[in-house]
Amino acid sequence: MSNVTFKGTPVSLEGDTINVGQKAPVVELVGKDLSSFEVGGANGKFQVLIAVPSLDTGVCATETRKFNEKLAGKNGVSVNVISMDLPFAMGRFCATEGIENLRVGSDFRGAKFAKAYGLLLKDSPLAGLLARAVFVLDKDGVVVYKEIVSEITTEPNYEAIIAALSSSCGCGCH
């Protein structure tokens, strides 16, 4: 079990997180149109899995907008933002914010992603939501980069994520 903080107060994460070098589990999510899709595992593309507590917070919204911009048009890369938000709210957010370069997925049906990746917030006012984290997977579904953001209210290290993706896939991210 890992820990992060929320406004400086320790928060426990449920389960064991996956680490660099491990195969990422395949998990089914729900898209903004209520269709199901899978993330993780080998799918022939590099994957960026971005976990956020809720798109309805300032930090998560900013993070999603930045990834939408920074990773736009990267061939062979699937970018996914995952939260517990309902698909309808995700659709509204994407339409309002012009999010077109990444896919949003809801983990509201059983928190399968949160549990499989060890990111379910166990206590605090945010209990039941996802911790802020980013995983980069290679084409074989192996984790090549992992960041669990230690303070939930801060953004991830975009430069390190883009550098890891760039060095792994040569996709020209910058």
Residue 174: its pLDDT value, please? 43
152 is a domain residue: yes
Task: Summarize pLDDT for 51-101 with one digit per residue, the tens.
Answer: 999 999 999 999 999 999 888 878 889 999 999 999 999 999 999 999 998
- Residue of 60, 94, 169, 173 marked catalytic: 60
Domain that holds residue 67: 3-169
Residue 166: its pLDDT value, please? 86
Is 112's pLDDT higher than 70?
yes
140 is a domain residue: yes
Is 40's pLDDT higher than 90?
yes
55 is a domain residue: yes
174 is a domain residue: no
60 labelled catalytic: yes
Domain containing residue 142: CATH number: 3.40.30.10
Tally the domains of the chain.
1
Task: Summarize pLDDT for 141-173 with one digit per residue, the tens.
Answer: 999 999 999 999 999 999 999 999 988 776 554
Q: By the 8 A CB rule, do 142 and 169 touch?
A: no
Q: For 15, how many CA atoms within 13 A lie in the half-sphere containing its CB?
A: 17
114 is a domain residue: yes
Q: In the predicted model, what is the mean pLDDT of the chain?
A: 92
**Residue carrying the six token digits 């802020």:** 132
Question: In 30-155, which residue ranges form alpha helices assigned H by DSSP?
Answer: 58-70, 87-97, 112-116
Residue 171: its pLDDT value, please? 55
Task: Summarize pLDDT for 1-31 with one digit per residue, the tens.
Answer: 578 999 999 999 998 899 999 999 999 999 9
63 is a domain residue: yes
19 is a domain residue: yes
CA 10 remoteness from chain centre: 21
**Residue carrying the six token digits 């993070």:** 63
Note the pTM of the prediction, 2 decimals. 0.93
Whole-angstrom Cα distance, residue 166 to residue 174? Answer: 8
